[in-house]
Amino acid sequence: MRRLLGLLLIAVTISVGLEGMAAAQTLQIEPRERLLSVVGQGTVRARPDMALITLGVVSEAESAGEALRANSESMNRIIAALEEGGMEPRDLQTSGFSVEPIYSQPPPNYDGSQAFEPEIIGYRVHNNLTLRIRDLERVGALLDEVVTLGANSISGPTFTLADPTPLEDQARRAAMRDAVRKGELYAEAAGLTLGPVFRIEESYVQPPQPFNGAAMRMEMAAADTSVPIEGGELTVEAQVTVSWTLGE
């Protein structure tokens, strides 16, 4: 009996010892490489080379058919004039169409309730067309022309780039140069040297945006003059995070 108890005690002691060694090994933290991570920012600016304008024709009539007929005539006249003026079909795109009833607005009773339910008294048709204008010198004249032809709803212009990729790549290069400059500065200040690049991560590339609210005016002028337009300047921004290993 004593011998059995002794063997059990030895087994428990060995087990506790092994668990302690495992715990000690678990608590050991593997040495990790020293890293330096910085964020680089790149911004480039350029003049826009394309403008987007959405023009619309809004027509009202007693019947939906009459409103649709009048609307289609006006929009077809506008599209034909634009194509005759040199606009390519690929730069004209229908961006919205709707038909909706127009309800009467009965006067309220003295207590605020309605004397009778609103009734349909007509129909309203919206047809929107988005234009891509590649010659910015024509923007003002085109606006004046479409208003004359019957467009009675206009939004824009929005200035952009036909192909923003080259400008985005310039912003990426500028962001990388900024990251390298910061990395070298921090390493030198810490008395260390930059090792190999450990990781490069692109945070974002912002599409072309107006520079600090650059002037983009649209003032409806007299019928015999073009609408004054200013394209301003666009900016593209890129951000990248770069990590290096650090040497002595």
pLDDT at 114: 64
pLDDT at 104: 87
C-alpha distances out from residue 12 to 7, 15, 21, Å? 9, 5, 14
Rounded to whole angstroms, the Cα distance separating 134 from 111 reads 58
Q: What is the pLDDT of residue 30?
A: 45
pLDDT of residue 117: 76
The model carries a pTM of: 0.67
In a domain, residue 6? The reply is: no
82-112 residues labelled b (16+ CB within 10 A) or e (exposed): beeeebeeebeeeeeeeeeebeeeeeeeeee
Q: What is the pLDDT of residue 169?
A: 96
Segments of the chain with pLDDT less than 70? 1-32, 108-116, 210-227
Torsion of CA 62, 67, 68, 71, to 10 degrees: 180
Final residue belonging to a domain, choices 160, 179, 210: 160
Could you tell me if 96 and 184 lie in one domain? no
| CATH of residue 240 | 3.30.110.170
Query: What pLDDT does 33 receive?
Result: 73
pLDDT at 31: 47
Phi/psi at 245 (5° precision): -80, 150
Within-domain flag for 232: yes
